[in-house]
Each structure stands twice: as structure tokens, then as C-alpha cells.
Structure 1
Amino acid sequence: MKKLRFKLYKPVAVIALAAGILGLNACTKNFEEYNTDNTGLTEDALRPDFNYIGGFFPQIQSSIYFNFNNTNSDFQLQQNLMGDVYSGYLMPPNNFRGNINNMTYSLVDDWNASAFNLAYNNVMAPIAEVKRRGAPAKAPEFWAIALILRVEAMHRVTDIYGPIPYSSYGSGGTTSAYDKQEDVYTRFFKELDTAVTSLNTYVAANPGVSLFSKFDMLYGGDYKQWIKFANSLRLRLAIRISNVNAAKAKEEGEKALDPAKGGLLEVTRDNANVSGFGLKNPLFTIVTSWTDNAMNASMESILVGYKDPRLPKYFDHATAYPGTYKGIRIGSQVTAKPDYNGYSVPANAETKTFRANTPIQLMTSAEVFFLRAEAALRGWNNAGGTPGELYEKGMRASFAQWDAAPADVNAYVTDDISKPIDYVDPRNAANNSPALSKITIKWNDAGDFNEKLERIITQKWIAMYPEGQEAWSEFRRTGYPRLFPVVNNLSNGTINTDIQIRRIPFPNTEYTSNKAEVQKAILLLGPNPKDEGGVRLWWDIPH
């Protein structure tokens, strides 16, 4: 059993506490055994300024898009060699394991267990401790934020694996029961109900008061902003299930869109970005020191094809091919470094977008406008405009986020000519591919549902960069944008090349420490269930 260690922060000095809650690998094992503080600092000593509860939040917030303690390598495994690649955003110029790796669908368990383990150790465990210390009754506004963060973190996890341990977490015992994904989503919506109601009640009763401000890495203690984030997160999850449960999706989506609930992310300052407490953006190190990230060929095809003004903010020019932006296609037989190092990388030298102190992006107002555009397309109430109007607002919000010139925005949103371009790899013609889409940028109100949806999702995909996990989920849900499939598929038939990867198998550690429950979890994956990367999740309906 691995004993968890996590940190509790004071507002100025950092105090490391050995606060062992539950060793992860089986998520809820021996919960009660590991809930004591071994530093001699009692809860009473930390109680006056709410450190005994609030001190856990910096770890929670910096562990969603993980770089707690600035390890970088954890983030690389949790997100960068999984969602960032499968989303079509990035592709490493590194032949890890001789190209027998995630990029060629030869899935590496040691890599893919990270998203599971990190979430339980660094988000679920400290939130369980916050609950144990009485936050729901003693500090309901803190508990409301804990619930929002738990939903934000764990929807990413269930959208990677499918069924996960959730409802039984922290209940003790020697096994960890899994919930089917539909039930996990139901709990997400209920937890967001609790959070929004609690924060609205607190704000009404305590205007201008925020004890959470000294622990807040997103909004500086502004509870109204947390309400907007919670509502926006609800809308994201409602859209996510729209193909599999249209009625529930509409119910939850309209609840999020209801102006009486506190609003949504609408302007750049509303964006959910994590920073502070010494947190560093892991992309900076992975790109500049490790040279392990480069542009994905799908990004080249779409952004270069669209002559997108955000392109210089997203990527540097290819040093091997001056004046061009050049990506690497997923599944390429990448040769040993530094052969592919001259391709485009996330912008750090020319426009210095990704620096060590660049905030880590969780959600933006641009994404929310595109969610609203799809809500309007589906006929939901209170979307706040027509699909075309909200689609254009999404593009304008993204351009504002990246400080694009107004003239560039106006030209872009009215462009009905530019399309994605063919991909040509100057190092290896075997990787070449014609463009997969002919969709243009300008809204076409006469188009059918699928044409409109492709425009919305393609532009949302561009706007969500660099948050690859969410982009991968939306690609699986909709099939958009049209991403280049892997060149070399080494999955031994478990993943269809054209359909592409749909999920990540459960970690091997779960088979060794929680075998009976993980075998039950496999049965929750649907008809002909198999713990394989080609199996669709509950909300992932064929399209």
C-alpha cells in the first residue's frame, strides 16, 4: 500500500504536512488509517484563519492540469502524451520506446496510469480531508469550491477511462467500487447544484466577504466568478451527453443557461486559469528544455489553411523550414532526436506565449460561446442568440484572449474561401495526407445540422488550445474537427485506425490491488465490453 503525502499551505509560508489519506492504487483502501497529521500542527492551531481547510486547495487546483510541485514529467504523462496528442494539437519529436508508444497506439501502461493516480492522490484525497475536517457545515463556501474542483478534475478522468470509483470514495474498506459513467455524470450535476446554491446563498448573505481569497489560484476569492465557472462547467457536461441522453442534456444545459443562476464565462477576465503559489507552466520546460513537444499535423493543416492570425501566438515557425509552420503527423516513425526538432513548437521564442509563469488554462469564455452556439443549434432555451451569432462571438472571444487586431478578427469571421490544406512531411512522404475537411470559416445559415456542427466544433477546437484533454473528448463526441489518423497503428487490432482511439485502459495497478472491482467495471463499458482503447465510452455514440 502506497501512503499518500500531500501538502497544506499557509498564506505566506509553506508548511509541509504528512497528512496521509489513503494510498491510492485502490483509491479508498484504509482511508481511516491515514487521516492524521504527523507534524505536530493541530487542526486547532490552524483553525483561526481557515488554514486547516483552505490550506489543501493550492494542491487541488494545481493538480487538475497537473504540475503540483512543478515536476513536469507528471503532466507529460497525464496529458501531454495522451490528450494533447489524440486531440490533434501536439506531437512529440521524440521516438520514445523506439516508436512503440501511445502515438502509435501501443499503449504504455506506466504512462497511462498517471491520469488515474494523480487525480486520486492529489485531488480526491485532499478534498476528502477537507470534508473530514467539517467543511460542508463549517465552511460551506469552501466546500462549494471543492465540489466544483472535484467535478472539473474528475470529469477529465471519467472521460479518459469510463467507469471510475466515485460515489464510494472515502468510505473505507479494502476495495474500490466503480460507478458506471452515466451515474458519475449524474453525481456531477448534483454536486454542481449544491455548489452553485451554496455560493449564491453565501454571496447574498456576505457581500464582499471572501475567506477563500488567500487560497484561490483561479479567481482571487471572487465567489461570483466561481459561480460562473460552475455554470459553464455544467453546460460543458450537458453538451457532452447530448447524443446519449438528449432530455437530460437539455435539462442541465438550460439550468446552466438560466440567467438567474449567476451567469457564464463571457469575457477574457472570466477565464479559468490557474496560477500562483510558485506553479509553473509545464509546457515551457517540456518544449524548451526537453524538446519533447511539437505541432501536430492536424494543427498545421487547419490553422495554416485558415491563415489563422492566432497561429504565431500558438506556435513558433519551423526552424528547419524558415518562414513556414510545420507539424508532425501522429503515428509517424519519428527518428531519434534531434532529427524532427526543427518542426514548429508551442510558441516560446518568437511570441513567448508559453513561459514558466504562463497561467494554466482550464476553461475560457470562447469555449462557452461555442457551447452556447451548439445549445442554440439543438434548440435549447436561453442560449442568448442564434447559433451563427454565438459562433461568431466565440471566435471574437478567442481573438480577444490572444490580443488579435480587430481588423484580423473581422476578416477572419467573414472568410468563406480558406480551407484546411494538405499535409506534406518534408522528411518522409509516407506521412503525407490530403486535407480531410473542406469546411470554411464563415457561418452558413443555410447549411444542415452537421455542417453547422462541424464549423462550431472546429473553431472551438482552435480556441481551446492548448487544453488537449477537452479537445480530445469533443473530437470523440462529434468526429470534429477531422483529424489525421495514425500513420502506424501498433494496437494489434484493438483500435480502429479510422475511428481512432476512444479511451485508455484501466491501470495495471488496479488489476493487482482491486481486481474484482475493475473486472466489474469492464462490464460497465457496454455491449461486448473489453478493457481496450477502441471501446467507446457511454456518451461516445457512433456518428
Structure 2
Amino acid sequence: MKIFHKAMNRASLIGLTALTLGLGACTKNFDLYNTDNTGVSNGQLDPDFNKLTLLRYAQRSIYNFAGGGDPNSFQLQQNLAADCFSGYLMSATPFNGGQNNLNYFLVTGWNGEAFKVGYLNVMSNIATLRSLGVDKQYPAVWAIALTTQVEAMSRITDIYGPIPYSKAGTAKTGIPYDSQQDVYNLFFRQLDTATAAFRDFIASNGSYPFSSTKYDATNYNGNMTQWLHFANSLRLRLAIHISNVDPVTAKQQGELAMAPASGGLITTNADNFSLPTTDGGLSNPLAFISINWADIRINAAIATYMTGYKDPRISRYMDKSTDGSFAPAYEGIRIGSITSANVKGDYQNYASVSASSFGLKSNVTLMTAAEVYFLRAEAALKNWSNVNGSAQSLYEAGITTSMSQWNVAPGAYITDASSKPASYHDPKNKKNDHDSLTNTTIAWSDAATDAVKLERVITQKWIAMFPEGQEAWTEFRRTGYPKLFPVVNNNSGGTIDGTIQIRRLPFPQQEYNTNGAEVQKAITLLGNGKPDNGGTRLWWDTGK
């Protein structure tokens, strides 16, 4: 309750107009497919290079723990949205009297946080670096900035759909939105610029007259080879995202990402892309919300998949329940089961079900080698070139690499052809019980249908990506896997289909207030008269 009170008293979403005022006047308009457009004029970096720290702030804002000890913004940006929609987490706290996003009563004041963070913390800081001439003076540092921007803003477009991107910073009012297809095409062009700069820097044994601690807050610490691997892996992720709706572009971009001449992908856990908490005062925001506020607990979906599969990673992901009324067990909360109807009842007791096992100083991992193996496995199912392995070998490599990441022995997990996800039995309220929605097992079978093969790949990728809910929600929407329990109470007023589940968040109210005409145009970019609500599918969300 306390966090809701604090979060809702924050200033309302600052519109994109305020961002452009902060960026200063533009000197030219940029074509949509310009590789590095941010719409501001070039300047000169200070001799002490201190302003390079703006890139560090932008990187931290991908997951938004720049504020250190009070992650209110992260809680709204991701935790009470994608983390729960993905089947990973669920809150036992009855925010807003039990009527909130977790039972599809979408709270206007929550839904703009990701948009605000993307533009004010990421786009603005990176635009300032370009205005200081970083792109011309230090192209490899600029490549990190572009890759950071694509990583951060791909998460934003995958929440809302159309966003202002190509013209962000080119005007003070009336900032147009781009279609999601155009945004993705620009992402690929920006990654072209970034990866070329990384390769040039590596080939020339380049160096810069300042420490990487000035500009890189990630675990890579300015290692351009690791950044190149991440940029190529990010291209592959985005190509897979659009593979149902634009298979030609997806294949082209995916094969480019995997091509040997591109410089390689993330293949080992040493290359996993993470945001450390080593800077003074920083805490893992998910752990903070769980440990200090008790506002987030494990979702029934991930708990039932892992218990049913007898997954050895489960003790690394979550703690057993501490409720004295039943034996300690890995127990989750089914999404949508906390509402105003039980706000004074059992909800307090749900706080004693399983919590995540992460500590306040745990790193935040945003892409892993395991995920990339699963991306390649799906590419193999699509018969793309350059995958360097069969779907089965890459699928199994994804599992073993994840096990290694969490320092557990896989045992016979890969060959288990009998274990299935468990049904859910709510320890507090049997009305929330639900049978398992799938009989899919773990062991690969070439005789299985394409649908079963894809379900195996996505389900194991989903388990391996925990707790990174933003990408997990995207993959659930794109593929329909893993099969997640529907929300118990659907308070959307009919705007969200409880079977299909939530597909996006509405555009921020502040954008309606300050950029209204362009928001109305953006709604038309959703396609076919689709409304601006949580039930509308994004461009790449074809329902196939």
C-alpha cells in the first residue's frame, strides 16, 4: 500500500514536448532511415569527458535503477506490468483498492512510466551526447550509445506499438509517431552503424583518451568485442520478433546477425549483458521491491512449470513459502486473484508465498547466451542460414548454458520425456485453482509437430530468461507460448480478452494532453480501426 501511495503522488508523465525543449533547437530534419538521427546539433565534448557519464545514466534506465534505493519508477515501468503479464511475478498488495493493471483495470497514472523513462532518461541523454560530437569524435562510444538506445527503445515500442522515434527532437510541439514497422527498420539501420563502428575499432586496435568507467555502466566495461556480440544478438532478437509479420526482412536481418563476417554472437555466459549494482547506493530494484516492500512475489505460472519439470534452477529463482499454515513449498500467486473483493481478507497472507531469491546486490541481466541459443534454435526451425547447428542441438545448448549460468547440474533434464508442467493449487483459495494448460515435455523429438517444437523452444527460453519480464511478455504475445493461466478477475470492462490476455499498454495520458493530434494519428497506425487499449495487438503480434 505504501508504494502505491508514493508512486501515485509522483509528478505526472512528462510529455515528449518537454523532452524536445530540453534538447534544444534542431539544425536539420532527418530521413526516417538515417542511421543515427536524434535531431540535435553537433557541439564539442568537454575536455574532461565528464559528460560521457550521460551514457551510463541511459544504460541504467533500461531497467531503471538509476535512482538507487527507491525504485518507484521501475515498479511502474516494468514490475507491475511486463514482469507480471509474462507469468514471472505477481503482487499480493491490493494497489488502488485492488483495482489495477494486474486484473486489467489499467491505471492511467501507471501506464506512462515506461514512455517517460525512455524519452527523458534514455533518448534525451543520448541526444545530448550527439550534440557534443561524440558520434564524430569517438564512433565506438557512439556505437555503444546507439546500441543502448535500440535496446531501451525496442522495449518501449514493444509496450505501446507506434512511438515518436525518427523525429524525436526535431520539433517542440506536434512530434509525430512512427509505425512500429518503421521503428524496427530504423533499429536495424542504427545497428548497422553501431556494428560497423565496433568492427572498425576492433580491427584497428583502437583506444580512447578516457576510461570506460566514464561511459559504460554495464558489465562489459567498454569491451568493444562484447558490445559487438551484444549488438549482433540484439539484431537477431529483433529479427525473430518480426518473423511472423515480415518474414523477408526478418530472415535478412537474422542471417546478417548470425553471419561469421558480422563478428559473432553471445555464446558464453561470460558475454551475458548485465547492469551491475557495484556503483555506490544502487540496489537491484526487483530485489528491493521484494525484500524491503514485500510488494512482489512469484507468479503461479513460473512456479508450476518449474515444479512440474523438476527444474534444478528453481531454488536459484525463488525461495520456498514461509506461511505457517502449510508446509514450505514453491508456491506462486495466480495473476488477477488480488482484487477489491479480498482487499481486507487473505491478501496479507499471500505475501508469505514464494519470493524471488535475488539479493539487493544481484546484477540485472538483460540478455544471456542461453536466450541467443534459443533464438538460433527458432531460426533453425525457420530454415534460416548461418545458424551453425540443428534446432535440437541449439535447443539443448540453450538449456545447458542456462543451467551453467545458475551453477546447477542439468542431470537428466534434457532427456526427460515424461515430466509436464503442474496444475495450480492455490494454498489460500481453491477458487483460483487451474489445471495445467499443456502436456508438453522437455526432451526434443524430431517427430514432433512444428508447433510442439516451437512450444518447447519458447517455453525453455522463457524459463531461462527469468526474471527479465519485458522480453518474456513480448515472446508470449508473439508466439502464444508458454501457455499461461488466464487472469482470475478481468476488470477491463471488455476491452481485453481474458483468453488472449493483455497485448499492450495504452498511450500515456500526458501524451494526449500535450501531443494529442499526433496521438490520434498514432492510433490509426495500430491498424484496421483498432482502439488505444490493452486488447489491441501490436504490428508483430499476428496471432499466428
TM-score by length of 2: 0.90
Supply the distance in 2 between the matched residues of 1:282 and 1:103 (Cα, whole angstroms): 19
Matches within 5 A, 1:81-120: 81-120=80-119
- One-letter code aligned to 2:351: N
Matches within 5 A, 1:497-512: 497-512=498-513
Partner of 1:305: 308
Partner of 1:292: 295
Residue-by-residue CA offset, 1:303-322 (whole Å, 9 max, x unaligned):
11001000000000011133
Partner of 1:217: 217
- One-letter code aligned to 1:55: T
Q: 1:373 to 1:521 in 2, by over 3 A?
A: same
5+ residue gaps, structure 2, are: 1-12, 27-42
Supply the distance in 1 between the matched residues of 2:402 and 2:253 (Cα, whole angstroms): 25
Q: 1:284 to 1:34 in 2, by over 3 A?
A: farther
Partner of 2:246: 245
Partner of 1:360: 364
- One-letter code aligned to 1:461: W
Partner of 1:66: 64
Supply the distance in 2 between the matched residues of 1:156 and 1:270 (Cα, whole angstroms): 21
The SS at the match of 2:350 is coil
Q: Comparing both chains, which one has the higher relative contact order based on Cα–Cα distances under 8 Å and sequence gaps of 6 or more?
A: 2
Does 2:343 match 1:339?
Answer: no
- One-letter code aligned to 1:59: Y
Supply the distance in 2 between the matched residues of 1:149 and 1:212 (Cα, whole angstroms): 18
Partner of 1:325: 330
Deviation at 1:400, TM superposition (A): 0.7
Supply the distance in 2 between the matched residues of 1:210 and 1:410 (Cα, whole angstroms): 49
Matches within 5 A, 1:370-381: 370-381=374-385
Identity %: 50
Q: Is the 8 A contact 1:265 1:271 kept in 2?
A: yes
Q: 1:210 to 1:468 in 2, by over 3 A?
A: farther
Supply the distance in 1 between the matched residues of 2:206 and 2:521 (Cα, whole angstroms): 48
The two structures, once aligned, show a CA RMSD in angstroms of: 1.7
Residue-by-residue CA offset, 1:429-469 (whole Å, 9 max, x unaligned):
11110000100001111111100000000000000000001
Aligned pairs, how many?
A: 504
Supply the distance in 2 between the matched residues of 1:426 and 1:369 (Cα, whole angstroms): 36
Partner of 2:229: 228
Matches within 5 A, 1:432-511: 432-511=433-512
Deviation at 1:209, TM superposition (A): 5.9
Deviation at 1:34, TM superposition (A): 8.8
Does 2:389 match 1:385?
Answer: yes
Deviation at 1:23, TM superposition (A): 6.2
- One-letter code aligned to 2:380: A
Supply the distance in 2 between the matched residues of 1:425 and 1:34 (Cα, whole angstroms): 57
- One-letter code aligned to 1:280: S
Supply the distance in 2 between the matched residues of 1:212 and 1:322 (Cα, whole angstroms): 52
Q: Is the 8 A contact 2:92 2:338 kept in 1?
A: no
Supply the distance in 2 between the matched residues of 1:49 and 1:458 (Cα, whole angstroms): 48
- One-letter code aligned to 1:394: G
Q: Is the 8 A contact 1:27 1:169 kept in 2?
A: no
Supply the distance in 2 between the matched residues of 1:319 and 1:23 (Cα, whole angstroms): 41
The SS at the match of 1:400 is helix
Deviation at 1:277, TM superposition (A): 2.7
- One-letter code aligned to 2:216: D
Q: Is the 8 A contact 1:504 1:532 kept in 2?
A: yes
Partner of 2:39: none
Matches within 5 A, 1:186-197: 186-197=185-196
- One-letter code aligned to 1:153: A
Q: Is the 8 A contact 1:28 1:176 kept in 2?
A: no
Supply the distance in 2 between the matched residues of 1:260 and 1:183 (Cα, whole angstroms): 26
Deviation at 1:172, TM superposition (A): 2.5
Residue-by-residue CA offset, 1:63-84 (whole Å, 9 max, x unaligned):
0011112231111100000000
- One-letter code aligned to 1:338: Q
Deviation at 1:27, TM superposition (A): 5.8
Q: Is the 8 A contact 2:16 2:175 kept in 1?
A: no
Supply the distance in 1 between the matched residues of 2:48 and 2:376 (Cα, whole angstroms): 40
Supply the distance in 1 between the matched residues of 2:470 and 2:398 (Cα, whole angstroms): 20
The SS at the match of 1:338 is helix
- One-letter code aligned to 1:248: T
Q: Is the 8 A contact 2:259 2:386 kept in 1?
A: yes
Q: Is the 8 A contact 2:140 2:197 kept in 1?
A: yes
User: Among residues 21, 28, 36, which one is paired with 1:30 in the alignment?
Assistant: 21
Deviates more, 1:257-266 or 1:228-237: 257-266
Deviation at 1:528, TM superposition (A): 2.0
- One-letter code aligned to 1:30: L
Q: Is the 8 A contact 1:304 1:420 kept in 2?
A: yes
Supply the distance in 2 between the matched residues of 1:205 and 1:315 (Cα, whole angstroms): 46
Partner of 1:425: 426
- One-letter code aligned to 2:503: R
TM-score by length of 1: 0.90
Residue-by-residue CA offset, 1:318-371 (whole Å, 9 max, x unaligned):
111333111110110354452211111101xxxxxx122111111100000000
- One-letter code aligned to 1:259: P
Supply the distance in 2 between the matched residues of 1:55 and 1:330 (Cα, whole angstroms): 39
Deviation at 1:289, TM superposition (A): 1.1
Q: Is the 8 A contact 1:272 1:362 kept in 2?
A: yes
